[in-house]
Amino acid sequence: MSEKVFISPGKYVQGKNVINKTGEYVKPLGHSALVIADKLVWGIAAERVVKSLEQVGITAVKVEFQGEASKNEVNRIADQGRSGDVDIVIGVGGGKTLDTAKAVNELLGASVVIIPTTASTDAPTSALSVLYTDEGAFDTYSFFSKNPSLILVDTKVISQAPPLFLSSGIADAMATWIEARAVIEARATTMAGGLPTLAAEAIASKCEEVLFDYGLQAYESVKRKVVTPALEAVVEANTLLSGLGFESGGLAGAHAIHNGFTVLEGDIHHLTHGQKVAFGTLVQLALEKRPLIEVERYIDFYLKLDLPVTLEDVKLQEASREDLYRVAQAATKEGETAHNLPFAVTADDVLDAILAADQYSQAYKAKMGYKN
């Protein structure tokens, strides 16, 4: 592959209370919408979405998402869309709901609208979904023919979510430049199906810059449930910059480690996607032989955001060496994004990097007086 490829959604809209304008923005796309949200999100935002749709004459078929972005769930919801003759699919909620909506839309051939209620992942803008088994283990990346037609991001709604969701989104977005940088160096193929563009490189780099500049202020903002300029900047970085940056810039070690973690049983599955990516990012930095001062900059930032930086933090303090080797094997299986690093990577390399990342973080916490 020698061509550069850049892809993006049709329109991105962000601001306070934009969810009340859903109908206005969706109206050009069709006349009948399948609205997907989980039970909690129906009360938080999805009912307002339906009300706004009905105000402009769009009929709504309401479906409750059951909690796992699996092929069975996608097929179940798609069947309801077919019976309702919908031409718009709207996902409202968190990453798994949104990934499910995109996968449903691919089966229905409609226009997809994504309305995140947290800024916890970079899933909203992309033309792919991460699918899991019904039990929650990583299954596959599912690639689609086009990106969402519309992304609506209501920063007032996002400011009301638990701070953990924003910090998780920051962690996911912090991987964007670290992984894109590796893909660029390796001249590897991105999720968009080509080499990284200069635009993707600039966006991924800007994403990290915004997060370091405003991430802590934004985190404090959501603790008080207020929308500030810092929060607006970080929501855009978590959602738009990271979304464009990872898809057209590429994934590498951090997300491969995250996927590797899904082979384990236990409490790690109660952590968010971003929490696991945070530790995976430190593992990639260890693999890349980055200098200690650089690694400690990320450790310090993550600690201030209450993100995990050690094996104990990701609930793996009791994991055996054999268990961690299983993670490393899964992270380096054929087709995994760890092979987008600009050097050959084996399961043994990843195991050592997992243990090294844990040790670097333990040493930093001891040096700075953090208590476990």
Catalytic residues: 172, 255, 258, 273
For the range 224-233, what are the long-range contacts, defined as Cβ-Cβ under 8 Å and sequence gap of 24 or more? 225/159, 225/160, 226/159, 227/16, 227/155, 227/156, 227/159, 231/155, 231/158, 231/159, 231/166, 232/14, 232/155
Q: Which two tokens stand for residue 217?
A: 């202020």
Q: To which H or E segment does residue 138 belong?
A: strand 138-143
Q: CA 349, 350, 356, 361: dihedral to nearest 10 degrees? A: 160
270 vs 8, 116, 267, 273, 343, CA distance in Å?
31, 20, 5, 9, 32
Closest C-alpha to 195, from 209, 183, 212: 183
Alpha-carbon dihedral angle through residues 341, 126, 97, 120, given to the nearest 10 degrees: 60
Q: How far apart are CA 365 and CA 360, in angstroms?
A: 9
Nearest to 270 by CA among 304, 308, 243: 308
**DSSP per position, 23-65:** HHHHGGG-SEEEEEE-HHHIIIIIHHHHHHHHHTT-EEEEEE-
The four Cα atoms 268, 271, 272, 275 give a dihedral, to 10 degrees, of -80
Decide if 240 contacts 173 (C-beta within 8 A): no
- Distances from the Cα of 65 to the Cα of 49, 59, 95, 96, 104, angstroms: 16, 19, 12, 9, 12
For residue 4, give the DSSP letter: B
Nearest to 341 by CA among 252, 250, 278: 252
